[in-house]
Amino acid sequence: MNIAQQYIVQQLRRELGASEATEHLIDWLLDSWATLDMLRDRFGEARALQLLTAYAPLPQASVQEAVLI
């Protein structure tokens, strides 16, 4: 975890308080950072961010249809 991420985690604990819910949120955030790092290594910065922030363009479309779009 880099310095910026450590700061964010500290701020979350300070603002949200010590609770199980806060720790779950932090765990999910740490997992998302790790996932982003793996995607960056594999696909590069722009594609990694695109993959991580993507949403289905058509909510009613099936997964196969969404992949084809």
Ramachandran category for residue 63: left, alpha or beta (phi over 0 → left; psi -120 to 50 → alpha): alpha
- Helices 20-43, 3-16: axis angle to 10 degrees equals 160
Number of domains in the chain: 1
The CA angle 33-34-36, to the nearest 5 degrees, is: 65
Indicate the pTM of the whole model: 0.72
Structure tokens at 30: 């740490």
Please tell me the distance from the alpha carbon of residue 21 to that of residue 12, in angstroms, as a whole number: 11
Range of the domain at 43: 3-68
Write out pLDDT tens, residues 34-58: 999 999 999 999 999 988 888 766 5
